[in-house]
Amino acid sequence: MQYKIAVIDRGFVSPYFDELFRIMNRSRDREYVVFYGDPPKGTGLEAAPEPYDFPNVRIENKHIPFLKTAVYQTLVRNVTSGEYDAVIIGHELKFLSNWVVAFLCRLKGIPIIFWGFGYHAPRGVGYRQRSSNLWNWTAQALKDRIARIGDSYLAYTQRGADRMRAQGLKCSIRIVRPSVNVEEQIRLHEKYLTANEAALRSELGFAPDSSVLLYIGRLVEAKGLDGLVEVVRRLNEEGKDRRKVEARIIGDGDTFDALKAQSADLPEVELLGGIYDQDVVAKYMRVAEAIVLPGAAGITVTHAFAHGKPVLTRENPLHSPEAEYVRDGENGRVVGGDFDAFVKAVAYFVDHPGERDRLSKGALSTRESFSMQRMADQFDEAVIEVLSRRREAR
């Protein structure tokens, strides 16, 4: 007997997770059908290129203007029709249809598996700033209440799992550590590990002996990329005996023009826009000394570790769960205090080879804990568990 499981995630197929869905569908008796639409405009988010070679259903994402970021997806009737034996739902409030699906599945006895942070990230509208304490409290209370109707919960981190247990969640809770396709990134890392660095620097337009800092991700306000431009400016102005510091910014988003204007007088900083050829990105990774995330850090952390690059970031309430993978002084830096403290930490990293080598080794070691196959296995185990419990109950 083959089981069909509906997967409703972030509204579109992320380039990070298309391989995950392929791996999940290698099972002969479980078919995971992914529902997806277009990514929201003006956010810098990009979908994995279509067509997809895993079961999928294209839907429409209807944005509701008066509710800001709220989205209603045209999937409720399909998912709750009785065709699916279980449903995996992203634990996000903005997808209103998710909660309709969850309550209807509960009424119809269809097992529900939630997938999410395990807590409400204190982000404001448009991922730009912290939202009010009242909204954060209300949102968290709603999400906690909704999570209780689930049969299983897949949390991104141990912190998220612990929090859900502390809130009294009775269902099975597993940890699924989101990451890029680490296996593929490790292959690319090894491909360029022995490449001639001088030739790569020349090809990519870097000085022969500069210190290269790299950013990969969306260009939105919460990422604090004006901070990276300022770091490069100050390090080059203040360090007379220091190697030149260069930065490259890979990504698209609504702060692109502002960053371009801010760095107009800095030839050491270049905005490259979105680069979706991972082989090209791997070349930049090869010559970079660190990934610098001055604002909100997310899944780029795992991308960095796959290439043995330490992550330099700041303490920030807007961090996604993946920021918890950065252990200060072990595989990167998580700098507290004001912006001057961050500049000093980056300067120390640039000026001390021992610090760079130590953190790079820590990053390489950390990547062993990530695996796209392991993620797929965790999803599959959760589905098997809830389906088995449902069969026993019947």
Return the bridge partners of 88, or none: 7, 113
Domain spans of the chain?
3-179+371-393, 182-369
What percent of the chain is modeled with pLDDT above 70?
94
Q: Would you say residue 77 has pLDDT above 80?
A: yes
pLDDT at 206: 97
Q: State yes or no: cis peptide before 111, omega within 30 of 0.
A: no
**Residue 185 — φ and ψ, nearest 5°?**
-65, -35
**Structure token digits, residue 316:** 């920030």
CATH, domain range 182-369: 3.40.50.2000
pLDDT at 65: 75
Instruction: Select from 9, 78, 32 the least CA-distant residue to 387.
Output: 32
**Residue 318 — φ and ψ, nearest 5°?**
-90, 0
Mean pLDDT across the stretch 333-347?
A: 97
Helices 372-393 and 182-193 sit at what angle, rounded to 10 degrees? 170
pLDDT at 394: 66
pLDDT bracket for residue 373 (50, 70, 90):
very high
Mean pLDDT across the stretch 116-122?
A: 76
Mean pLDDT across the stretch 240-247?
A: 91
pLDDT bracket for residue 125 (50, 70, 90):
very low
Q: Would you say residue 130 has pLDDT above 70?
A: no
Q: Would you say residue 386 has pLDDT above 50?
A: yes
Q: Would you say residue 302 has pLDDT above 80?
A: yes
pLDDT bracket for residue 120 (50, 70, 90):
low
User: Would you say the CATH fold of 182-369 matches that of 3-179+371-393?
Assistant: yes
pLDDT at 43: 66
CATH architecture of 3-179+371-393: 3-Layer(aba) Sandwich (3.40)
Lowest mean pLDDT among 123-127, 139-143, 153-157, 283-287: 123-127
Q: Would you say residue 300 has pLDDT above 60?
A: yes
Q: Which residues contact 84 (CB under 8 A, 6 or more apart)?
A: 4, 5, 6, 33, 110
**Whole-prediction pTM:** 0.88
Cα–Cα–Cα angle for 259, 13, 306, rounded to 5 degrees? 65
Unique residue bearing structure tokens 């059908």: 33
Strands 71-73 and 61-63: what pairing? antiparallel
Q: Would you say residue 189 has pLDDT above 90?
A: yes
Lowest mean pLDDT among 1-15, 58-72, 127-141, 148-162: 127-141
pLDDT at 126: 42
* HEC profile of the chain: CCEEEEEECCCCCCCCCHHHHHHHCCCCCEEEEEEECCCCCCCCCCCCCCCCCCCEEECCEEECHHHCCCEEECCHHHHCCCCCCEEEEECCCCEHHHHHHHHHHHHHCCCEEEEECCCCCCCCHHHCCCCCHHHHHHHHHHHHHHHCCCCEEEECCHHHHHHHHHCCCCCEEEECCCCCCHHHHHHHHHHHHCCCHHHHHHHHCCCCCCEEEEEECCCCHHHCHHHHHHHHHHHHHHCCCCCCEEEEEECCCCCHHHHHHHCCCCCCEEEEECCCCHHHHHHHHHHCCEEEECCCCCCHHHHHHHCCCCEEEECCCCCCHHHHHCCECCCEEEECCCHHHHHHHHHHHHHCHHHHHHHHHHHHHHHHHCCHHHHHHHHHHHHHHHHHHHHHHC
pLDDT bracket for residue 178 (50, 70, 90):
confident
**Residue 83 — φ and ψ, nearest 5°?**
-75, -25
* C-alpha–C-alpha distance, residues 154 and 144, integer Å: 14
Mean pLDDT across the stretch 358-377?
A: 94
Instruction: Share the mean pLDDT of the chain.
Output: 91
Helices 339-351 and 225-238 sit at what angle, rounded to 10 degrees? 60
pLDDT at 250: 97
